[in-house]
Amino acid sequence: MGPPRSLRRVKCLEDFAAPARAFLPAALWEFVSTGADGRVSLRGNRASFNRYWLKTKILTDVSGRSTAKQLLGKTYGAPFGIAPMGASALFGFEADLAFARAAAKANIPFLMSGSALIPMEKIAEANPDAWFQAYVIHERDAIAALADRAWNAGFRTLVITVDAPVAPNRGVNLRQGFYYPMRPTLRIAVDGLLHPRWLFRSFFRTLVSTGMPHIENYGTGRGMPILSWSAPDRRMHRDALDWEDMKWLRGRWKGRLLLKGVLDAEDAGTARGMGLDGIMVSNHGGRYLDTAIPPLKVLPEIAAEKGGMAIIYDGGVRRGTDVIKALGLGADFVFVGRPFLHAAAIAEEAGVAHAIELLAAEIDRTMAFLGCADLDDHRLGLQIVPEESPGP
Ligand SMILES: Cc1cc2nc3c(=O)[nH]c(=O)nc-3n(C[C@H](O)[C@H](O)[C@H](O)COP(=O)(O)O)c2cc1C
């Protein structure tokens, strides 16, 4: 059984963007695709991959190659996972569940967003191996309550996003009238009406099946509805969060604990010293601090601080060759964001499954060209050649 008709022309992850753009209201499309301020980091994330070239290796029998890769004690079918994306279910019908199910079937990790509009308990039920990403504030009772909820739901891998101490400036979104939660304006209503496929297949269908989506996973109870006149002021408190909070959480959370949003080797060393299980080297897909360094540039120096931690890369991964480059530069695994959300918007679980297959096939193909039968082969790193700098 091949991909659904709507995906017949989608042959790589980047091909999901155009149909997703046509499907989504303009404000939603901008919300998913844009970056902060001048979008320099957003572009830099992609451009950083083009600074490396791959050397092929000929006449090596790679007929028995495998894309399997170990991460945090589990062997996955491919070396990539689905990154957390807030409000996904506003884009595609029950998108987080589509991620959860497609990831479980393909045996890849799925990290659900703490800003998801579907309760974490439902996600854990659909995929008992799913991970939970939390946005936490400097209030330990609140952190403890959220962590307990995640534990009781069955999550054993908790990821704290630490690169968002304050709200970003995404001018495009604000100009489009997109706030989070969204404010019900005439402009938003017209935008929705102009995109009837999204309106019926995603938004109205959600209203009929589960009612108005709410921000479900910030605390122990249900949060605000996604359409609301007033935005929560929680973000304001995140700027007080510090390493002591993480040390305390390490002592309390019995499962695997990771930080997401690390770009500094010294911070990586601190995380290792605290006994964290891993870090995600990420600039949040260029969505928070603009001109934040593309994570690929700092990956090797951060990987040098690895110790026993898992090093996970995210930002701008669109091709199998990107995955191989990140692994060769020191990552154990990569995560991918936007293309999976595009895929879930236009074709739900089948779309996500198609995206997973495409990326896995590209990795497999790249491995064959590099004469590499297994992803832990240390020679992988030797076949990645940096572009020489043009000099002063
Ligand atoms: C629409 C959208 C929502 C996001 N929401 C979250 C979130 O709730 N938590 C988080 O840690 N990262 C969030 N991210 C960042 C992603 O997890 C990831 O770091 C980034 O998208 C990776 O870059 P890529 O999209 O180029 O693959 C979001 C990204 C997008 C595009």
- Mean local confidence (pLDDT), 357-379: 96
Dihedrals phi, psi of 162, to nearest 5 degrees = -120, 10
Report the pLDDT value the prediction gives residue 235, as an integer from 0 to 100: 52
Q: Whose CA is nearest to atom 6 of ligand 1?
A: 85
Q: pLDDT band at residue 176, thresholds of 50, 70 and 90?
A: low
Judge whether residue 232 has pLDDT over 60.
Answer: no
Taking the C-alpha atoms of residue 143 and residue 289, their distance in angstroms, rounded to an integer, is 24
> Which atom of ligand 1 is nearest the CA belonging to 159?
11
Q: Are 294 and 316 in contact (CB under 8 A)?
A: yes
Q: What percent of the chain has pLDDT over 90?
A: 86
* Dihedral (Cα; 175, 219, 253, 303), 10-degree rounding: 0
- Mean local confidence (pLDDT), 138-162: 98
Going from the Cα of 345 to the center of ligand 1, the distance in angstroms, rounded, reads 15
- The SS3 of residue 225 is strand
At 87-113, the pLDDT tens digits run 999 999 999 999 999 999 999 999 999
Q: Whose CA is nearest to atom 28 of ligand 1?
A: 85
Q: pLDDT band at residue 171, thresholds of 50, 70 and 90?
A: confident
Judge whether residue 227 has pLDDT over 80.
Answer: yes
Q: Where are the beta strands (DSSP E) in the chain?
A: 52-54, 69-71, 74-76, 80-82, 111-112, 131-134, 157-161, 256-262, 278-281, 310-314, 333-336, 384-386
Judge whether residue 392 has pLDDT over 70.
Answer: no
Going from the Cα of 306 to the center of ligand 1, the distance in angstroms, rounded, reads 23
At 49-70, the pLDDT tens digits run 999 999 999 999 999 999 999 9
Going from the Cα of 71 to the center of ligand 1, the distance in angstroms, rounded, reads 20
Which residues carry out catalysis?
284
> Is the CB–ligand 1 distance for residue 161 below 6 Å?
yes
* Pocket mutation for ligand 1, best pick of 28, 31, 113, 263 (most atoms within 8 Å of C-beta): 113
pTM more than 0.85:
yes
* Pocket mutation for ligand 1, best pick of 88, 132, 287, 322 (most atoms within 8 Å of C-beta): 287
> Is the CB–ligand 1 distance for residue 170 below 6 Å?
no
> Is the CB–ligand 1 distance for residue 315 below 6 Å?
yes
> Is the CB–ligand 1 distance for residue 86 below 6 Å?
yes
Q: pLDDT band at residue 391, thresholds of 50, 70 and 90?
A: low
Encoding tokens for residue 388? 């020489």
Q: Whose CA is nearest to atom 11 of ligand 1?
A: 161
Residue 370: partners with Cβ closer than 8 Å, 6 or more residues away:
54, 55, 56, 57, 324, 380, 383
> Is the CB–ligand 1 distance for residue 282 below 6 Å?
yes
Peptide bond into 181 cis (omega under 30): yes
Q: Whose CA is nearest to atom 8 of ligand 1?
A: 86
Report the pLDDT value the prediction gives residue 36, as an integer from 0 to 100: 94
The full set of domains in the chain, from first to last, is 5-385 (3.20.20.70)
Encoding tokens for residue 257? 């604990």
- Mean local confidence (pLDDT), 172-187: 75
Rounded mean pLDDT of the chain? 94
Taking the C-alpha atoms of residue 324 and residue 368, their distance in angstroms, rounded to an integer, is 12
Q: What percent of the chain has pLDDT over 70?
A: 95
* Pocket mutation for ligand 1, best pick of 284, 323, 340 (most atoms within 8 Å of C-beta): 284
Nearest in space to 257 (alpha carbons), one of 239, 281, 279: 279
> Is the CB–ligand 1 distance for residue 260 below 6 Å?
yes
Going from the Cα of 347 to the center of ligand 1, the distance in angstroms, rounded, reads 20
Judge whether residue 137 has pLDDT over 80.
Answer: yes
